[in-house]
Amino acid sequence: MRLKGLIVLAVFAMFFVACKEDNSAENYKKEVAEQKQEEKILEFGFDLKKFEFKRDTVRRGDTFGIILERNNIGYPEIFQIAEKAKDTFDIATKLQVGKPYTLLFDKKRINDSIQKPTTFIYQQNLEDYVVIDFKDSIQVYTRTKPITYVEKTATGVIENNISETLENKGLSQVLAYKMADDIYAWTIDFRRLQPGDRFKVIYTDKYINDTIYAGVHNVKAAYFEHNGDSLYAFQFKTDSIKNIVDYFNEDAKNLRRAFLKMPVKFGRLSSRYNLNRRIAYYGYKVRPHKGTDFAAPVGAPIMATANGTVIESTRRGGNGKYVKIRHNATYSTQYLHMKAQNVKKGQYVRQGDIIGWVGMTGNTGGPHVCYRFWKNGKQVDPFKQKLPEAEPISDSLKTKYLDHIKPIKQQLDNIFFLETGTQKTENTITEDNTTDIQ
Q: What is the pTM of this model?
A: 0.65
Tell me how far CA of residue 417 lies from CA of 38, 158, 196, 396, in angstroms. Answer: 48, 12, 12, 36
Among 55-69, 269-283, 419-433, the least confident range: 419-433
Across all residues in the chain, what is the average pLDDT?
A: 83
- Asked if residues 120 and 101 have their Cβ atoms less than 8 Å apart, the reply is yes
Burial class (CB in 10 A: 0-12, 13-18, 19+), 71: middle
Mean pLDDT in residue range 278-284: 57
- Asked if residues 210 and 148 have their Cβ atoms less than 8 Å apart, the reply is yes
> What is the rounded distance in angstroms from the CA atom of residue 316 to the CA atom of residue 290?
17
Per-residue pLDDT of 355-392, as tens digits, reads 999 999 998 888 999 999 999 999 999 888 887 877 78
The correct answer on CATH 3.10.450.350 for the domain covering 42-144 is: yes
When comparing pLDDT for 420 and 293, which is higher? 293
Per DSSP (E only), the strands in 173-329 are 198-208, 212-226, 229-239, 244-248, 268-271, 278-279, 285-286, 292-295, 301-303, 308-316, 320-326
Total length of the chain: 438
Domain boundaries, the chain: 42-144, 147-256+391-431, 268-384
pLDDT at 62: 92
Q: Identical fold at 42-144 and 147-256+391-431?
A: yes
pLDDT band at 111 (very low <50, low <70, confident <90, very high): low
Longest distance between any two alpha carbons in the chain, whole Å = 130
Partner residues linked to 104 by β-bridges: 53, 119
Mean pLDDT in residue range 41-61: 88
> What is the rounded distance in angstroms from the CA atom of residue 401 to the CA atom of residue 253?
11
pLDDT at 232: 96
Count the neighbouring beta carbons within 10 Å of the beta carbon of residue 219. Answer: 21
| φ, ψ dihedrals at 164, nearest 5° | -65, -40
When comparing pLDDT for 377 and 110, which is higher? 377
Burial code (b: 16+ CB inside 10 Å, e: under 16) for 259-292 equals bbebbbbebeeeeebeeeeeeeeeeeeeeebbbb
CATH architecture for segment(s) 268-384: Distorted Sandwich (2.70)
Burial class (CB in 10 A: 0-12, 13-18, 19+), 426: exposed
Q: What CATH code would you report for 147-256+391-431?
A: 3.10.450.350
pLDDT band at 321 (very low <50, low <70, confident <90, very high): very high
Per-residue pLDDT of 162-205, as tens digits, reads 889 998 888 888 898 888 878 988 788 887 889 999 999 999 99
For the cut 60, the answer to whether the pLDDT of residue 36 exceeds it is: no
**H or E element in which residue 135 lies:** none
CA neighbor of 304 nearest in space, from 255, 245, 263, 348 = 263
Query: CA torsion sign, 165 to 167 to 172 to 176?
Result: positive
pLDDT at 299: 92
**DSSP secondary structure, 27-85, as one string:** HHHHHHHHHHHH---EETTEEGGGEEEEEEEPPTT--HHHHHHHTT--HHHHHHHHHHH
Per-residue pLDDT of 7-26, as tens digits, reads 555 555 555 555 555 555 56
Tell me how far CA of residue 304 lies from CA of 93, 325, 392, 437, in angstroms. Answer: 30, 8, 20, 43
Mean pLDDT in residue range 130-159: 91
